[in-house]
Structure 1
Amino acid sequence: MSAQHGHTSHDGTHDHGAGPHANHGHTHEHQQRHDHHGTHGHPHRHDTPPSGASRLRHRLAHLLTPHSHETADKTDPALEASARGLRALWVSLAVLGVTAVAQAVVVVLSGSVALLGDTVHNAADALTALPLAVAFVLGRRAANRRFTYGYGRAEDIAGLVIVLTIAASAAFAAWTAIDRLVNPRDVEYLPAVAVAAVIGFLGNEWVARYRIRVGRDIGSAALVADGLHARTDGFTSLAVLIGAGGAALGWRLADPIVGLAITAAIALVLRDACREVFRRVMDAVDPAVVDAAEHALRHVPGVLTVGELRMRWIGHRLRAEVAIVVDGALSVRAAHEVAVAAEHALLHAVPKLTAALVHADPAPAPGVPDPHAPLAHHAA
């Protein structure tokens, strides 16, 4: 029955051809490196040297439309996603750094403990960008014989660190509020404290929106969680502002009471961050993505039905493993051709999918033994 099976497996680059490939061990990118001699896949002709006008046109083309002569240098969607994630981290780190410095100046002038706590929160939020940046850089490393799926899981580990940081922020906010209830304090320079609180809120909310948007665009649960962390610090800044307003009206307990309310808000954000990160760690995917993959596979010519379909996130990269059922009379080459077409359909139908393994099973036939019977005793 070996002639009735075909499968295709890739680890990061994909063969999008529709026909069979005699040397399937080479991915599309690897094969191009062997036969790519010119730009955009067009080999240069060496029988006649290019004229001066041709060389000039070529240089102008480079200036107006930059491109690479090396296939390895062409844009990889997964690497581009990592670059976007890193860019979001560095931009938000700069914004939060400026915010924390501005608040620290007011803390020195006013002696506001509430604003000090907010400043510490902002500094901690800025620093959470560092482990996540390390995870993005580490995730770019190629898979090897020890880490056969690559290093994308580092991003999920960074997400766990961020969740723990949000939890610590909630605990710190609660402790600060309770301490202020027990030991009320007067705050000086209330207008300056209010301005610093507004700066903290606006800076954190801008960073939160930016991180969450980019994180959802590239499929990074860790970056979304980091954005939610920035939002918790924005809530803390808002608490400082409301507390300063209450203090200005002579209500000394305004700051701690609002602080407790903001602690509850941080707990709600923590719940959302936990859901984002732990679902990713447990290999959860949106059921709508699975539905889209099955729909695409069922419309591939030669696919009779879709068997087992599994999908998982590794960092911000999505992988799939699927078994399709094909006509049992097909040759190995023809079955492989259907499998390649099925993978091609998946890559177009599922955003952020970077790798798929497709296995072709023969359709059951009367009098033909089950080809998976030798595996039956291994079933759970």
Structure 2
Amino acid sequence: MHPILKPALRRGWRDLNTIQFGVAPAHALVLGPVDTATGSFLQLLDGTRGLPLLREEGRRMGLPDDHVDKLVRRLSGAGLLDDATGGGSAADALRKRDQAMDRLRPDLASLSVTTAGPGDGMRKLAARRAMRVQVRGAGRVGAVVASVLSGAGVGQVDVLDGGVVEPRDVAPGGHPAEAIGDRRDAAARRGVRQWAPDRPPRRGRRAAGAARALGAAEELGGTGATRAAREEEPALSLVVIAPRDGLDAHAPDPLAAEPLVSSGTPHLYAGVIEGTGVVGPLVLPGATACAGCLALDRADRDPTWPRMLAQWRSGRARHVTACDLALSTTVAGLAAAHALAFLDGAAPASAGVRWEASVPGLDWHARPVSPHLSCPCGAGVVDKGEHPAGDKEPHDTMAG
């Protein structure tokens, strides 16, 4: 172990004997009392020394024999310490990829703040590289989501959509103007490759061909070809459903999501409908409400809803749908953040909840989505989960 004080947490002396780690209340901690020798020793926790050398340095500074080990344990228990060499073999392999690490260091610093154990942040970052996420929809929201996930280190990001890139699809971080006229899925995949920190894990020709076959089969609604393609592909860690038509995110079709529910594949909805951005719900099949639950609940509350929805989904020609660029970018960023939180093992606030914000106020609010007793998804009782807490003051730790 090569201990390092988490560099993302800024340090400052509250007084002569007390140090505060972190600025924002969500992660700030206070250490005290700290004597002069211990305060000087903390400067040595920079990841360049192992424990034997740190013990020697401590003895030179006049610290008691067991003081260094006790201090390291207490700092680690408080979540203030990282391990510059930790995270396992996958993390070791990622560290050797200098170009990728240069790109991902801000993400690693963030993960180190939100994980407790030394090396946990690097372990999670390395784990992303082996994950496969599918993004369905390559418009202003979906193409940006795919690029962000790829840029954050997700090793395989597949994008499914039809048609060609239109001027209205162009967005910063998504389709560039030069892609107009190109196939949407192919253009989005180019963006995925462009924003990846480095080359993703290599896939054989059969797996690459299977990915193309899977995309084509799902786009055409095929079943046999879809099953055959899936046999060659690694399991999906998550599907992000970001349709260009925001109605399909606001009122998702239960039939379209049924294969995901039946296969137990987690999926997250995101989109823009008129002037409202929607992120969620994150559906954990069998545990949280699905699209079927959402449809049944809405019909219970508004008997005219199915009739209205059928009219809105009719094949009549529509004008260009409203999709504010700043709002769509915000939705894409929030959806990608929720997706990454889930992939990293956390329980994002979108699990069983839909987050909505409308222009021009952009006041985000949560709308819980309850499992419906008549829905065959089997979600059962609602898991209330965790909700964002208000600001809190830094709390003391390791006093005495």
Larger relative contact order (Cα-Cα within 8 Å, sequence gap ≥ 6): 1
Instruction: Judging by fraction of residues, say which structure has more strand.
Output: 2
Higher helix share: 1
Q: TM-score range by the shorter chain?
A: under 0.3
TM-score by length of 1: 0.25
TM-score, reference length from structure 2: 0.24
Larger Rg: 1
